[in-house]
Chain A
Amino acid sequence: MSEHFDAIVVGAGPSGNAAAYTMAKAGLSVLQIDRGEYPGSKNVQGAILYADALERIIPDFREDAPLERHVVEQRIWMLDDRAHTGTHYRSDDFNEARPNRYTILRAQFDKWFSKKVREAGALVITETTVTGLVRNEAGAVIGVQTDREGGPVFARVVVLAEGVNGLVAQRAGLRPELKPNHVALAVKETHFLSEEKVQERFNLAGEDDGVVIEVLGTVTSGMVGTGFLYTNKESISIGVGCLVSDYAETGMAPYELLDRFKRHPSVAPLLRGSEMKEYVAHLIPEGGYNAIPKLTGDGWLIVGDAGQFVNAVHREGSNLAMTTGRMAAEAIIALRKADLPVSEANLKIYRDALAESFVMQDMKKYRHLPATLEKNRDALFGAYPRALSSALQTLFRVDGTAKRDKEKQMLGIVKKSRGSWWAVATDMFKVARAWR
């Protein structure tokens, strides 16, 4: 393999696949390397796929992509130990010709995407770990080392689509090690049930309709994090993720948290009789805008999770991965056409494209949120969920108490949860400001 490529893409997740596909389609010579047995075999997602990002790359993806169900209903649950308070939004408008969100199984989806990349003309090599970057005397990246025999491979640019751990970039000194409070550790199980049971339990009309539930509150035992429960065709994905720093501090076992979530009285009936067929763990970048590393240099650039591109509030990651992958590819294509080197200065077009798109705008919008959530963790992930449940229970129980007294009791519960109204107001203000 002494060939010289236009681009080498490290990683075949959504960001690497978007980049490799876009470049190969434009006629560039692309080598893509993944360490898995097949693309997807190392990858984990909830998983909700946002159609828009993929549609901009493969407009007719619906024809053969392995999609589970399209989302017709979004639930948000606030849990305490025995109750859930929830909002559900379901609309028949989501039953459209080109649905906006789907559930997927990542290992299968990535395999499909990789097939498209090969069809577009890229050379895809699996079962190969990239172990280092090759540089020229000037320090520019000119290729990669792998754990395969045959020496280094060279290219005009290396696209680092290596996911959250980002070891290649890290060990080449392009970025620092991850901070424990910039990543969440998520554990997830896939529980199989018949298609009919999934439909019955979630009140679904058709075999393609799905429900997704995002879960806040005591599901994380006071740590910063969330839970989720998504319907696939014949299975349910259930998981919980919390900051690694919080795990390290509390010494809680992630699988015990997941087991407690599964036993919750609101959740257990949804899973009853199911067969668990896989247990997975993976990190999610959650440091937000302030955790984004340097993204470009001479002969290299970073896309997807490796660049911390996850909007934790809206549970968006794969779409940012695909969008950053596509934008990186478009920048490289433009430089190739103009016969310009892929230098840090010339990669300004990638940085500008990111800045102008929803990607950076959303990352920026929530840049204060991670710190705010961390600092107010006890209130937001413990005290308020409990107070909300207890206040609502007071409202709904009919027990001879006058309504005016009930209202007083409810307000008392909220006030007591934080000690004073001043504390409650301050919390609200802090969150609102970080949200803005």
Chain B
Amino acid sequence: MTAKDKPVRMEERLYQNRYMVDEGRPHVRIHHQAEDSPQLKTLTRICPAGCYALDENGRVQVAADGCMECGTCRIVCQATGEIEWSYPRGGYGILFKFG
């Protein structure tokens, strides 16, 4: 892998974005079931903001501070009931400069 091919870290990618984080009021939550569904697991790959990751126990966790409110996770997990998703309170969340 050459320097130019090095994967960009998510923090660097999101660094330029503007957010107004609503501290203590996450707008995306996981309702864990006995086992994480394949749909939930796939979010660790396909969430465009990298909000989903596995914890030390191999369970999927979400940290939605970088969320761009696209809705993908809600749609992918609609049948499993694992994702509770709402918009952040008015004025909070992602603030696109160019869109």
Binding site for B on A (CB under 8 A): 35-37, 40-45, 47, 105-108, 110, 126-129, 146-148, 164-165, 167, 177-180, 183, 185, 187, 190, 235, 237, 244, 247-248, 251-256, 259, 263, 276-283
Contacts and interface: CB of A to CB of B under 8 A. Distances in A.
Nearest to A248: B76
A126 B96 contact: no
Given A129-B87, A244-B76, 20 more contacts: A41-B94, A41-B99, A45-B99, A106-B96, A126-B90, A129-B90, A147-B90, A167-B87, A179-B75, A180-B76, A248-B42, A252-B46, A254-B46, A255-B50, A259-B8, A277-B16, A277-B97, A279-B17, A280-B99, A283-B72
Interface of B: 4-5, 7-8, 10, 13-14, 16-17, 20, 39, 42, 45-46, 48-50, 68-72, 74-76, 78, 86-91, 93-99
Contacts of A185: 46, 48, 70, 72
B98 A107 contact: yes
A279 B87 CA distance: 19
Contacts of A256: 7
B15 to A, nearest CB: 9
A251 B75 contact: no
Contacts of B76: 180, 244, 247-248
Contacts of B5: 263
A280 B45 CA distance: 16
B36 to A, nearest CB: 14
A276 B9 CA distance: 14
A17 B97 CA distance: 19
Contacts of B70: 185, 281-283
B86 A276 contact: no
B68 A177 contact: no
B48 to A, nearest CB: 4
Contacts of B95: 36-37, 41-42
Most buried by A among B48, B50, B68, B69: B48
30 contacts: A35-B87, A37-B95, A40-B96, A41-B96, A42-B69, A42-B96, A43-B96, A43-B99, A108-B98, A110-B99, A129-B88, A129-B89, A146-B90, A147-B90, A177-B74, A177-B75, A183-B75, A185-B48, A247-B72, A247-B76, A248-B42, A248-B76, A253-B45, A279-B17, A280-B68, A281-B48, A281-B68, A281-B72, A283-B70, A283-B72
Given A45-B99, A164-B71, A278-B16, A128 B46 contact: no
B90 A247 contact: no
Contacts of A178: 71, 75
Given A37-B91, A42-B69, A277 B98 contact: yes
B16 A44 contact: no
A106 B78 CA distance: 29
A237 B98 CA distance: 10
Nearest to B96: A107
A243 to B, nearest CB: 11
Contact of A263 (B4, B13, B72): B4
A285 to B, nearest CB: 11
